[in-house]
């Protein structure tokens, strides 16, 4: 019988056929823990297996300190040190507070390639679906178990096949497409499912655009959204690893739980209003209502690549951030920071009035960048705008272009076409 991508991927890992609904013990190529959850992983591991217990494979484990980097509370600093101590004793690599977002590091370093399995204490680890890998965010009990055994239990999800048709307006980008899709399915609309995305508008996305779309699978409660890598993504990945890089494709007779055709027409800039990533309307409509803003944020695992900053930059080239408004920038990784620097964007952003922070997760979790106060209005490129998540204010989610155009105007604004 034909298999979906996730069924093929899991079958290849197990060396025996697996189908949706099967519960399997799935070997992991990479197991990671962040500063968020990492100390709990260590604590669980030591309590369950003893102070001298070995990990399954030190090379397959990473710590990534991206949530609170550098630590701005003594609690986080202590937790990071607990992880460092544990790692040093066992020869595990630590990507410290200067490295950036763990999931992005796995992609940059060629560890995340099609067909691999990875888990981490990061609910957006399914972002690895952007490169055809099976990434899963898991809690600290799962990760502690995987540190010891190299595997996790996994119920192979049923797959929804989604064909997206439509065309990005000249002032729209992957985030607008993503928000339109989240709006269509709703917060729990793909609960417990794997998703395969097809269609020209998806297949022509570059890797950063695919990362944006894959990252928000979590916001639809999907297990993972896989965007089968095309030639350009495979080329890029091939430059980062010595392992063979080959896309896993679904069989023509694969069995899907649902097949959805989504015709989005001309996709215009979209924005998610507080307090749900699925409360999406066109920026055009929201802009007409006159929403004054206090601050903007460009960054996060969803929109923290060089291309995202470049997209925002284009909106600021002939005008800066409005008086009384701030713009905070957080590159996803050190590599991205380096690109922004070498391409000359930092000078321009500085002149435009932006604040440029060190790489990491920025305002998500309890980060130090992008918290809002009671009554404060933020437009952010991140992926969640739950009440209270980024402080007491109101957060709107939008593309880098919309964020930049809005901080320039001081209110939510439709970006200009720059492509």
Q: Which is nearer to other proteins, 76 or 297 (CB)?
A: 76
- Contact string (CB under 8 A) for other proteins, positions 178-197, x = contact: ---------xx--xx-----
Closest CA to 312 of 332, 331, 292, 298: 298
Phi and psi at 58, nearest 5°, equal -60, -30
Pairing of strands 151-155, 23-27: antiparallel
Pairing of strands 258-267, 270-272: unpaired
CB 296 within 8 A of CB 378: yes
CB of 50 to other proteins, least distance (A): 12
Q: Which is nearer to other proteins, 383 or 413 (CB)?
A: 383
**Residue 141 interacts with other proteins (CB under 8 A): yes or no:** yes
**Residue 53 interacts with other proteins (CB under 8 A): yes or no:** no
Q: Which stretch binds other proteins (CB under 8 A): 71-79, 244-252, 308-316, 338-346?
A: 71-79
CB of 140 to other proteins, least distance (A): 5
Separation CA 342–CA 351 (nearest Å): 16
**Candidate residues 19, 56, 109, 123; the one interacting with other proteins per rule CB under 8 A:** 123
CB 347 within 8 A of CB 362: no
**Candidate residues 11, 28, 32, 44; the one interacting with other proteins per rule CB under 8 A:** 44
CB 24 within 8 A of CB 268: no
CB 106 within 8 A of CB 30: yes
Burial class, 51, CB count within 10 angstroms (exposed 0-12 / middle 13-18 / buried 19+): exposed
Enumerate residues 77-116 that contact other proteins by CB under 8 A: 78-79
Q: Which is nearer to other proteins, 255 or 334 (CB)?
A: 255
Residues making contact with other proteins (CB under 8 A): 23, 36-37, 39-40, 43-44, 47-48, 67, 73, 75-76, 78-79, 121-123, 137-142, 144-145, 153, 155, 187-188, 191-192, 218, 221-223, 276, 365-366, 384, 386-389
């Amino acid at each position: 019988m034909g298999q979906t991508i996730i069924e093929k991927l899991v079958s290849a890992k197990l060396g025996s056929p697996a189908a949706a609904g099967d519960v399997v013990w799935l070997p992991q190529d990479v197991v990671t823990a962040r500063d968020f959850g990492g100390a709990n992983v260590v604590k669980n591991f030591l309590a369950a297996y003893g102070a001298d217990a070995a990990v399954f494979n030190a090379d397959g484990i990473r710590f990534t300190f991206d949530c609170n980097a550098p630590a701005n509370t003594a609690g986080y600093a202590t937790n990071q040190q607990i992880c460092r101590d544990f790692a040093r004793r066992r020869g595990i690599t630590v990507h410290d507070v200067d490295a950036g977002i763990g999931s992005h590091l796995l992609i940059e370093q060629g560890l995340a390639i099609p067909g691999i399995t990875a888990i981490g204490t990061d609910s957006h680890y399914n972002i690895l679906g952007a490169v055809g890998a099976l990434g899963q965010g898991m809690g600290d009990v799962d990760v502690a178990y995987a540190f010891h055994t190299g595997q996790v239990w996994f119920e192979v999800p049923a797959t929804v096949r989604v064909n997206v048709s439509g065309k990005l307006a000249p002032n729209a980008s992957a985030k607008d497409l993503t928000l339109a899709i989240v709006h269509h399915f709703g917060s729990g609309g793909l609960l417990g499912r794997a998703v395969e995305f097809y269609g020209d508008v998806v297949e022509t996305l570059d890797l950063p655009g695919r990362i944006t779309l894959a990252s928000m699978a979590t916001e639809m409660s999907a297990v993972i959204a896989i965007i089968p890598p095309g030639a350009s993504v495979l080329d890029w990945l091939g430059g980062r690893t010595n392992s063979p890089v080959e896309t896993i494709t679904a069989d023509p007779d694969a069995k899907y739980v649902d097949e959805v055709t989504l015709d989005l027409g001309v996709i215009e800039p979209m924005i998610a209003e507080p307090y749900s990533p699925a409360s999406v309307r066109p920026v055009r409509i929201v802009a007409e209502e006159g929403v004054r803003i206090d601050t903007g944020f460009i960054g996060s695992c969803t929109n923290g690549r060089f291309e995202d900053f470049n997209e925002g930059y284009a909106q600021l080239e002939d005008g800066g951030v409005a008086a009384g408004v701030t713009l905070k920038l957080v590159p996803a990784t050190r590599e991205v920071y380096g690109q922004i620097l070498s391409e000359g964007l930092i000078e321009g952003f500085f002149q435009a009035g932006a604040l440029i922070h060190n790489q990491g997760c920025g305002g998500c979790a309890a980060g130090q960048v992008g918290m809002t106060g009671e009554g404060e209005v933020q437009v952010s490129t991140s992926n969640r705008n739950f009440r209270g998540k980024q402080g007491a204010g109101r957060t709107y989610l939008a593309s880098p272009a919309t964020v930049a155009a809005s901080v320039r105007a001081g209110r939510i604004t439709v970006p200009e076409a720059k492509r």
